[in-house]
Amino acid sequence: MPGSSVRVRGGIAAISRRASRVAEHTNIRDIRLMGSSSELKSFTSEGPLNWDLNISPSAQYKPGDEFFVLMIRYHVKVDRTEDSVAEDSARETEEVADISFQFGVLCELQRDDSGPTISQRDIEEYGDATAMIVLTPYVREYLHDVTMRMGLPPLVMDIIPSFTEKQPKRIDANRNLKKAG
């Protein structure tokens, strides 16, 4: 899997032979929130708020094990940018919130002894293709709840965010999510 917030090798539409082999023998046994930290740095929730989502996937597996764990760490920064009235049109940015959390998926491999050996790379490719799809409903609910509890406009994440999408998002005064620009 990518080490830190980098491009995925293809997603579910381009599932590899390696990932397909793992999928044929995998059952999800548990999904858990592995860690969480959120800090409201400003009481400001007026004006357009921008948010930037950073996603870092990983996989834990030892060849021969019957279980493996897919994890994705999420980091969300929320800020507010105001145009300055100064002649140089400087923009001041105020950090509003910092939210970090990690979800994990416990998967069980059910294979017979005559089947192919599953490698770390096989697991990583399977995770690239499926982890976001499996975890997105949990992440969407978590982000919506945390931001609402912080008194911010509730963030609504895309149905399946891209690992490659680096464009910050903006929430306008009507609490609609928009790309910053």
Q: Is residue 6 part of a domain?
A: no
Residue 157 in domain: yes
Q: Which residue has the tokens 């959120």?
A: 38
- Number of domains present in the structure of the chain: 1
d(CA 179, CA 25) in angstroms, rounded, equals 39
pLDDT at 180 exceeding the cut of 70: no
- Which of helix, strand or coil describes residue 127? helix
Could you read off the pLDDT of 100-157 as tens digits, one per residue? Answer: 999 999 999 987 676 678 888 989 988 888 888 889 899 999 999 999 999 998 888 7
Decide if 169 contacts 154 (C-beta within 8 A).
no
Higher pLDDT, 48 or 149: 149
Among candidate residues 122, 126, 75, 77, the one with its CA nearest the CA of residue 105:
126
CATH of the domain at 61: 3.10.420.10
Query: Token pair for residue 109?
Result: 């491999």
Quick one: pLDDT at residue 100? 97
pLDDT (tens digit per residue) in 51-73: 888 988 899 999 889 999 999 99
Query: Looking at residues 77-87, what average pLDDT do you find?
Result: 71
- Answer whether residue 115 is part of any domain: yes
Position 179 scores a pLDDT of 39
Asked if residue 179 is part of any domain, the answer here is no
Tell me, yes or no, whether 3 lies in a domain: no
Buried b (16+ CB within 10 A) or exposed e, 59-73: bebeeeeeebbbbbb
Establish if 109 belongs to a structural domain.
Answer: yes
Look at residue 171 and tell me whether its pLDDT is greater than 80: no
Q: What is the DSSP string of 97-117?
A: EEEEEEEEEEEEE---TTSPP
- 1 is a domain residue: no
- pLDDT of amino acid 36: 97
Task: Express each pLDDT in 4-47 by its tens digit.
Answer: 333 344 444 456 778 888 888 899 999 999 999 999 998 866 77
Query: Is 5 within a domain?
Result: no
Instruction: Identify which of 72, 71, 70, 93 has the alpha carbon closest to the alpha carbon of residue 83.
Output: 93
Q: What is the predicted pLDDT for the residue at 63?
A: 86
> Are 127 and 57 a contacting pair, CB within 8 Å?
yes
Distance, CA of 117 to CA of 60 (rounded, Å): 16
User: Residue 131 is part of which domain span?
Assistant: 12-173
